[in-house]
Structure 1
Amino acid sequence: MEVTIDEALRRGIHAQNEGRFQEAERIYRSILQSSPQHGDANHNLGVLAVHFGKIDLALPHFKTALEANANQEQYWVSYIEGLIRFGQLESARQVLAQGRQRGLKGDKVDQLEQQANGSEQASVSRERASEVITLYKQGNLDEALVRGRALLQQFPDDPNVPNILGAIHSSLGQHDAAIDYYMKAIELRPHNVQAHNNLGNALNELNRFEEAITHYNKAIELKPDYPEAHYNLGIVLSEVKRYEEAITHYNKAIELKSDYAEVHNNLAITYDLLDKLDLAVVHYSKAIDMQPNQTEIQFNLAHTLRKMKKFEKAIPHYSQAIALKPSYLNAYLELGMLKHSEGSHDDATRLYRFSKILRHSTGIEAVYLNHLKLWIDQKNTTQSRSDLSANYGVDGEAGFIRTTIPVDPELPKILCSLPTLSPHDESKEVEHKSASQIRRGGVQHSKGFNLFDSNQPDIKQLKDKFVNTVSTLLNSSIFIDDSFFAIYQGTSAAQPHHHLNEWDREFNLHSVKYAAVYYLAVGDTAADEPGNLKLHSPDILIEPEVGDLVIFPASRTHSAYYNGVEKRIILGVNFYKM
């Protein structure tokens, strides 16, 4: 027997009351296929949409229901309430006036009128909201939180209150709580542009980048001329390395707000990452014109000018950064490097010493300072090269040390669980880009070059063993510059390369910088290409075993080729002898 519309409606209402919302929606939509103007089916579909926070989808159904039966008071109430929650207050007032003319009345209607007119009974007064905002801006966050929560209890339907509470929680670093409040603000007013933007900020702080992008885009969709949303979207697009898109939104933000110094700074950073250094300088300079007392911008411009070898132009900006922030370690260090490079050794020494004091630990400035002191004292720094010869029973011409550190059986598993990059991935990473041409095929390289900074107990233990072993061998303390691992599997290679960087060559640190390779797994030693370490000029082939540690000058070109099935795992370290 064919089901009537009334019977279908009863089934739909029953399913809705039982919480079987998808079934209820399916039934209501089937009713609308035969009777598109059906009042109850349209109204109930709208109620379902509101339940799921989709007020924009609910409004057309409420409107159709009201047009179908203007004598149904609930249709008026639902439609007006939906308009208010969607932020369309003027439309809500117009519909309410029409309802009043038709005899619409009652406590609920009076309450809706108060909300539509912004009554104190429905929404927070500007004065009370301002009290909380003032506390927030003054940094009195705990008191702001207490008052904000009290306002939310009193005015649960005002979308401004959860938005303010979200901002307070964000400032406290409580981004999960902030997200909940921003979501509440959006639920109360889906077209809440500021809440979408703020939600994007909180998601960005939690590295939930794709979700952040969604909400920034929603804010821009609702308000295309919102410069802050374009700026924030640019930031997160840069985080996910969508640099060209980021540039588009930074430029849009500048178009909307020409004196936006922060955008010029971030746009410059993006151009810097893309090696478009001339454009980076242009925008750093514009940012400084607008905010000359911004330390980071002064430093960023100096750093880029240094990369361009425009040392004379860089020096005033380093000096200004230090004047603005006397504890700016990196500014002292990089300015010291420039002074060192131009031969102003007294200035360089002073700046390196400041850097050393500020760091409270050993940093690269200690290497530069030590080497500069030796140079000034006219000591023969090349004597350190002899440490890699007969003192340790190694042929002097071979120029390497081979020793062992027993392998922790858990360490290969730990390294294999850490993030890695393929050669293709490395070409897209700023930190890896310059070395991306070295590796080929199936090799996976650790993400970053600071493995020994890990708090993982096994890695910390290996670092201690490495430092003790090498310091004893070289009879000297050491400074570790880079630490990383690589996993070779299948056809893979590290093509001929060395580990001297630009400043090693500039300061002639060849004699005090070393590279070390530690073998955690040697893989298929019977393979055609077993991955042996080849040192070049003169050519030496080293066939390592598990636990071997091979140390050689960082200036020595070396390579390895592998085509085994099993994983071959090495740990690399670049370090300086102090």
Structure 2
Amino acid sequence: MTDNDASQNAAPQTIEQALQQAIAHLQAGEMRDAERLYRSILQSQPRHPDANHNLGVIAVLAGQPAAALPHFKAALEANPVHEQYWLSYIDTLIRTGQTESARLVLEQGRQRGISGEAIKALAAGLEQQAEGEPDAGQINALLSLFSEGQHDAAFALAQQMTQRFPLYALGWKVMGTVLSQAGRSSEALAPTQQAAALSPGDAGVHYQFGKILQKLERLAEAEASYQMAIRIRPDYTEACYSLGVTLQGLGRFAEAEVSYRRTIRIRPDYAAAHSNLGAVLQSLGRQVEAEACYRRAIEINPDYAGAHNNLAVVLHSLGQLAEAEAGYRRAIEIWPDYVEAHYNLGRVLKDLGRFNEVLASPPGTLD
């Protein structure tokens, strides 16, 4: 036997030993040790079916079914005659809410002759899920957990609901809301999109989807979601306002003006809408109208620092320097760390010729 022959025979034996050790660790609940061995096997044989499959099992046990999917898929592609690989892949697709994909993979398995009792049970479960919905007790429990601020528990229950009833929108909506409120906008996107698809007449979920898209700076898509929410509920104040913010961000100031004015018609005391309308009018060169909007925002909310600063900017541009100074100082009084207001105060003091006060101002007041 040559040295090359010996090395070729030794490698599979070493991998087999590692595989058996990993299986023993997995059965003993020693997940980290098992995972380390399975990954070492994949370094030598990236398509090794058992190593891939069992890494997927570990991911599912760790509550990360999405991370398991690539491993189950790799195992199935390497050995498509192994029924367990089909079962694991289909079940995990269902767990992650990918019901249509699960049906497609199930059909592919049937075409390959996979037809055991477990496969039949999965198929029956998919049919039940397509037709069923949670009972009133489950729905009330979910809504109670969410309204009481028990968001982790609400998320877990919502996730279970989407797995059992993937065509029922509430579970997806709650998952998306919890993730969004936790600042996890990228993760919130998929469940909220699913909720919107399953509940096309729900203005709230379209608004929620728009907010997530807006946070991700996907403004054109956010605009479409807000428009949908408003078509369903024409007096939806927050959707009208957020549409204005989005259009303003896109530089479409005339359209943003229309949206803010619509918001104000619905809710005349909406201070932020008055202030943002003022900003849009400023961008359109309509300073006097902008001044009136800022004054109205301050009338509604006297402690609105942004409106005081923006009003002062308009007054400054109109040459009313003393009033502008007072406005900047009021904004800083409300919000001492308001950098823009400090900077603007420095500018107006400079224009007033009070250079000593500029020099005495905080660093960065006038760069």
From 214, 237, 252, the counterpart of 2:228 = 252
From 286, 292, 296, the counterpart of 1:316 = 292
Q: What is the CA-CA distance between 1:165 and the residue it aligns to?
A: 2.0
Q: What is the CA-CA distance between 1:196 and the residue it aligns to?
A: 1.1
Structure 2 contact 87–119 (Cα < 8 Å) conserved: no
Residue 226 (structure 1) aligned with residue 269 (structure 2): no
Listed one character per residue, the Cα deviations across residues 45-97 of structure 1 (whole Å, up to 9, x for unaligned) are 78985576458447998xxx9xxxxxx9x99998887666x27249xxxxxxx
The aligned counterpart of 1:351 is: 327
- Match of 2:284, as an amino acid? M
Listed one character per residue, the Cα deviations across residues 207-255 of structure 1 (whole Å, up to 9, x for unaligned) are 4433322212212222233322322222222223322222222222222
User: Which is richer in strand?
Assistant: 1
Output the CA distance in 1 between the equivalents of 2:139 and 2:213: 28
From 269, 277, 282, the counterpart of 1:301 = 277
Report the CA distance shift for 1:248/1:356 in structure 2 as closer, same or farther (over 3 A).
closer
Structure 2 contact 161–171 (Cα < 8 Å) conserved: yes
- Match of 1:245, as an amino acid? E
- Match of 1:88, as an amino acid? E
Listed one character per residue, the Cα deviations across residues 344-395 of structure 1 (whole Å, up to 9, x for unaligned) are 344334323322321235744455556646765xx575xx8xxxxxxxxxxx
Q: What is the CA-CA distance between 1:301 and the residue it aligns to?
A: 0.9
The aligned counterpart of 1:271 is: 247
Output the CA distance in 2 between the equivalents of 1:297 and 1:475: 36
- Match of 1:225, as an amino acid? G
The aligned counterpart of 1:95 is: none
The aligned counterpart of 2:314 is: 338
SS in 2 for 1:479: coil
1:35-434 equivalences under 5 Å are 49=90, 53-54=94-95, 56=99, 57=102, 86=129, 88-89=131-132, 124=137, 158-169=138-149, 178-361=154-337, 363-366=339-342, 368-369=344-345, 372=348, 379=353, 381=355
Listed one character per residue, the Cα deviations across residues 156-206 of structure 1 (whole Å, up to 9, x for unaligned) are xx255235424543xx7x5x5553332123223222212212222222334
User: Which is richer in helix?
Assistant: 2
Report the CA distance shift for 1:365/1:207 in structure 2 as closer, same or farther (over 3 A).
closer
Structure 1 contact 332–354 (Cα < 8 Å) conserved: yes
Q: What is the CA-CA distance between 1:278 and the residue it aligns to?
A: 0.9
Residue 480 (structure 1) aligned with residue 367 (structure 2): no
The range that moved more, 317-326 or 180-189, is 180-189
Q: Which has the larger radius of gyration?
A: 1
Q: Where do 5+ consecutive residues of structure 2 fail to align?
A: 1-26, 28-52, 58-71, 111-116
Report the CA distance shift for 1:331/1:475 in structure 2 as closer, same or farther (over 3 A).
closer
Output the CA distance in 1 between the equivalents of 2:323 and 2:182: 42
Structure 1 contact 230–250 (Cα < 8 Å) conserved: yes
Q: How many pairs does the alignment contain?
A: 288
Output the CA distance in 1 between the equivalents of 2:127 and 2:148: 28
Q: TM-score, normalised by structure 1?
A: 0.41
Q: What is the CA-CA distance between 1:343 and the residue it aligns to?
A: 3.0
SS in 1 for 2:363: strand
Output the CA distance in 1 between the equivalents of 2:281 and 2:127: 55
Output the CA distance in 1 between the equivalents of 2:103 and 2:338: 63
Structure 2 contact 90–105 (Cα < 8 Å) conserved: no
Could you say which structure has the greater relative contact order, defined with CA pairs below 8 angstroms and 6 or more residues apart? Answer: 1
Structure 1 contact 216–233 (Cα < 8 Å) conserved: yes
Q: Where do 5+ consecutive residues of structure 1 fail to align?
A: 1-17, 32-40, 66-71, 91-114, 125-157, 385-473, 482-512, 514-574
Q: TM-score, normalised by structure 2?
A: 0.62
Structure 2 contact 331–338 (Cα < 8 Å) conserved: no
Output the CA distance in 1 between the equivalents of 2:87 and 2:350: 80
